[in-house]
Structure 1
């Protein structure tokens, strides 16, 4: 299906779910109403003519002081049987939560945790929303534009003097 056909079919069937749409460099992109995200994604996954059976990416962008709503959540869906792709975007303010897509795609689990860990965006209904990259006691969200760029490296000195440096492959030396 051509991008124009894909865009018009989804717009026709899901007009209430979509705020705006565009085709950019051959990719179909939709801005989606947050409260309709799960219904739209279920339709895209289950519709036999579309078959978006793979959630390939979830990420976020921080537009601090650039837009009315600070964050954008970006979803990339791919149809393995039909080889087409669609991008869904949601705009949210600082403390808004987004519905989790773990009920539709298992791949949403770790991707939503990564977005939470890096941006502090919470996903309602996620079964295990906790840090995945940073330490559990890490303060802040490093991909936010207001995250401080200066820091002190932690000193790991609890075993200084006990560490023996040995060659990794003694037979090579």
Structure 2
């Protein structure tokens, strides 16, 4: 199939990250208990923390178990003909597009939100997820190799203001 770029990530990796987040949350809660001096305000804070912290811990644990059991694969592939992304968590970010139809990839940032949008010759727009550790530099290089007419960001790390 002559792949120029391929990135894959199993959901078990994400599951492990969620478990680490559980440990970090518990550590932060215990540190707050130890270092925040007792006062009326801190008692009110801990009243809410005693409710919220276990709820968040349970949600993280359930999500980790779900991802561990499901263990699907996020996949991003560039071949000489197509650019394909499969995201098992979001069908919004799942697509397959002929590379010759890609016109531009634009990285924008506004306020507290950044996005990467791919535009095609047919006018379709596809968002590229930033939730995985794929190399945008290598991805853009592979796309440029197949279709040198694609307008790509000057730097894979810089986002322009929209």
TM-score category, normalised to shorter length = under 0.3
Provide the TM-score with structure 1 as the length reference: 0.24
Provide the TM-score with structure 2 as the length reference: 0.26
Larger RCO, structure (CA 8 Å, separation 6 or more): 2
- Greater share of residues in helix: 2
